[in-house]
Chain A
Amino acid sequence: MIIPCPFCGPRDLSEFAYCGDADNLAARPDPASTDQAAWNAYAYDRANPAGEHAEIWQHAGGCRRHLRVVRNTVTHAIGAVEMVGSKS
């Protein structure tokens, strides 16, 4: 599997570290919230689709940036890749 890092170019999977489901991370409850059900759902429950899946990868063996990668979980095909926070 080759992941095209926007900063370094296409690099081998072995340079990257998987950091989990991007949409789940984005759905983190307000840190001030004490809604236990919301925090439990955030910590444990996953959508787990067979198909396109947005996830965070860190280019740990390269530029060390965190990337938002859309990957197909059935074919391993890589779709859109962007740096986390690049839109802000």
Chain B
Amino acid sequence: MADYSALAIVRNALTGNENWKPAWRKPEPKTRYDVVIIGGGGHGLATAYYLASEFGIRNVAVLEKGWLGSGNIGRNTTIVRSNYMLTGNVPFYEHSMKLWENLSHELNYNVMFSQRGIINLFHTPGQEDEAARRGNSMILQGVDARFVRPPELRRRVPALNVSGNTRFPVLGGLEQPRAGTARHDAVAWGYARGADRRGVDIIENCEVTGFVRDGDQVTGVETTRGRISAGKIGVAVAGSTNRVMALAGIERLPIESHVLQAFVTESVKPCLDTVVTFGGGHLYISQSDKGSLVFGGDIDGYNSYAQRGNLPIVEDVMSEVLELFPAFAKLRLLRSWGGIMDMSMDGSPIITKGPVPGLYLNAGWCYGGFKATPASGWCFAHTIARDEPHEHNAAFTLDRFHRGYVIDEKGQGATPWKH
């Protein structure tokens, strides 16, 4: 498998582009691995990559029931940011941001990471105070943040309605300049190739149907491609967490599955060169490098595994787009889709050893899984390799709910409906 370089592009162009090799092998599963990762999404692939590259564990398999990129890694709105406030969260997401900043170089794979900034708008003096507090917390913890006032907003985001004649007049925004977007599929493909060339077996079309036990200890998995034994098993299956954990005898978790819809318009010329979020409602919007506007809003708000939503949220999100950007009313909507979110009860993720001996769990990403991909993989690999969490994921335990150490960034109660 060749590196990607200008020379390789020229050489392959001269030979009719017929000599490119597949980016990863299609191996048959072996009967035993040191580590098996269930879930070939962004987090699972990143975990396998860092297990091999950082922790020297190369006898690893990633089991994916479909094909790489078919889950949430290929279904999100591609936003990357680390504008958090709480101490349990900030170092983790900032670690992720630092990994993002070097990711294309590290993987020799262009993930199209674009630090175009994110501007979180505020509309009331109370929201402005909250934004100032959040910005100060970020700066104190080594993250970048600044206020953007309406005159600058008019220049930076010309399509934004800052006239004051709106239901929620824009008073300003809190910007994280280093935030931005990345090409979501390329993240999966880059990690897959990087893991594969370090010896990791990526096994697609391989669904886990049960666990093999020796007493309390989980020692392997039953799959549609046979039994595979493993020293350690990591579960990183996003919206399917409850279904996979039920196979291990864990029937109840602090997680509900909800559908989150996203939308893409037809492609237009460059008109939005940053990410904007709407604090008066809940909208996040950016323009992809292809020119389409990519946006989403709230979850539909009731348990769902449907990977499709219902019309009330479509109407709600569209009304928010038009409230902020009236000119976008002329655009045609190209497509919409739904992804299944692991909504944890405090809005924060779970990366932990257990809850069963031999198992390791990575779950509960709510809205925030994509931006976390590098650090999630890094911390999960650390937890699996060392049998203890890294300091950046030490707070993301499963038992924090029962111990009373919830990490409630948004401050909205113990329901998963609002985060």
Interface residues of A (CB under 8 A from B): 1, 12-14, 18, 20-21, 37, 40-41, 43-50, 53, 55, 71, 73-76
Give the CA-CA distance A55 to B305 in the complex, in Å.
15
Contact string against A for B residues 224-267, beta-carbon threshold 8 Å, 1 for contact and 0 otherwise: 00000000000000000011000000011111110000000000
Contacts of A48 in B (CB 8 A): 242, 252-253, 255-257, 303
Contacts A14-B312, A45-B254 supplied; 12 other A-B pairs, CB < 8 Å: A18-B301, A20-B417, A41-B402, A43-B345, A46-B254, A47-B252, A48-B252, A48-B257, A48-B303, A55-B302, A75-B306, A76-B304
Residue of A nearest to B403 (CB): A40
Task: Give bound CA distance, A50 to B345, whole Å.
Answer: 18
Q: Which residue of B lies closest to A50 (CB)?
A: B305
Which chain B residues (381-419) contact chain A, with CB distance < 8 Å? 401-402, 414-415, 417
- The reply on B310 being an interface residue by CB < 8 A is yes
Q: Which of A13, A43, A74 contacts B306 (CB 8 A)?
A: A74
CB distance from B336 to the nearest CB of A (A): 16
**Chain A residue nearest to B310 in the complex (CB):** A1
Q: Which residues of A contact B312 (CB under 8 A)?
A: 12-14
Complex Cα distance A75/B306, Å?
6
CB distance from A54 to the nearest CB of B (A): 10
With both beta carbons as reference points, the residue of chain B lying nearest to A74 in the complex is identified as B305
A44 touching B414 in the complex, CB below 8 Å, given contacts A13-B310, A13-B312, A50-B242: yes
Q: Closest residue to B417 on the A side, CB-wise?
A: A18
Cross-interface CB contact of B303 among A12, A21, A37, A44, cutoff 8 Å: A21
Main secondary structure on B side of the interface with A: mixed
Interface centre among A14, A18, A46, A53 (most CB of B within 10 A): A46
How far does the Cβ of A5 sit from chain B's closest Cβ, in whole Å? 16
Interface residues of B (CB under 8 A from A): 242-243, 251-257, 301-306, 310-312, 345, 401-402, 414-415, 417
**Chain A neighbourhood of B402, CB < 8 A:** 37, 40-41, 44
Task: Specify which chain A residues have a CB less than 8 angstroms from the CB of B345 in the assembled complex.
Answer: 43-44
Residue in chain A with minimal CB distance to B402: A40
List, in ascending order, chain A residues with CB within 8 A of B243's CB.
Answer: 50
* Interfacial chain A residues near B302, Cβ < 8 Å: 18, 55, 71
Contact check: which of A12, A14, A46, A71 meets B252 at CB < 8 Å? A46
CB distance from B170 to the nearest CB of A (A): 28
In the complex, the answer to whether A55 meets B303 with C-beta atoms within 8 Å is yes
Given contacts A1-B310, A13-B312, A40-B401, contact A46 B256 (CB under 8 A): yes
Tell whether, in the assembled complex, residue B401 and residue A53 are in contact, meaning their CB atoms are under 8 Å apart.
no
A73 touches B257 (CB 8 A): yes
Residue of A nearest to B302 (CB): A18
| A55 vs B257: C-alpha distance when bound (angstroms) | 14
Most-contacted residue by chain B among A12, A18, A74 (CB, 10 A): A18
Q: How far is the CB of B387 from chain A (nearest CB, A)?
A: 25
Query: B255, B304, B401: which contacts A73 (Cβ < 8 A)?
Result: B304
From A20, A73, A76, contact of B415 by CB (8 A): A20
Least CB distance from B404 to A in Å reads: 8
A-B contact list, 30 entries, CB within 8 Å: A1-B310, A12-B312, A13-B310, A13-B312, A14-B311, A14-B312, A18-B417, A20-B417, A37-B402, A40-B401, A41-B402, A43-B401, A43-B414, A44-B414, A46-B252, A46-B254, A47-B242, A47-B252, A48-B252, A48-B253, A48-B256, A48-B257, A50-B243, A50-B257, A53-B303, A55-B302, A55-B303, A73-B303, A73-B306, A75-B306
Q: In the complex, A10→B109 CA distance in Å?
A: 53
Task: Identify A45's interface contact among B252, B305, B310, CB under 8 A.
Answer: B252
Distance to closest chain A CB from B356 (angstroms): 16
B257 and A41 form a contact (CB under 8 A): no
